Amino acid sequence: MDIDIEAFFSEPGGWEEARISIGSSIAFFGIYACFELLYNSGSLSLLVFGSATALSGTAELLPKNRRRSAIVLRVTAIVLLVALIAVALRSLLW
């Protein structure tokens, strides 16, 4: 598996690259809402996944000249997901 750093720091890709992130964000928020409304047991991890994918999709929808803003949104999405992993590992260890 190769990590392409240049793609991470590239300019926003537009709707073609954002549609999957936006769609998955809507799905995560929808699943959370369904569980919260029906069973009163929505999971915080679904909100984190929804927020991270929404940030990623928003980064791709920015204008081409907003490269730095897109990078900040991408980094924030990754930080959210890493924090979720850290919380999960912490709960496993303690």
- 62-79 per-position pLDDT tens digit: 998 888 999 999 999 999
In a domain, 3, yes or no: no
Question: What is the domain extent for residue 38?
Answer: 11-93
In a domain, 6, yes or no: no
Q: Kindly tell me the sign of the dihedral angle through the C-alpha atoms of 45, 24, 61, 70.
A: positive
| pLDDT reported for residue 1 | 61
- Domain total in the chain: 1
Chain segment 15-52, per-residue pLDDT in tens:
988 999 999 999 999 999 999 999 988 789 999 999 99
The secondary structure of residue 63, as a DSSP letter, is -
| pLDDT reported for residue 2 | 72
In a domain, 53, yes or no: yes
Contact between 47 and 87 under an 8 Å Cβ cutoff? The reply is no
| pLDDT reported for residue 3 | 72
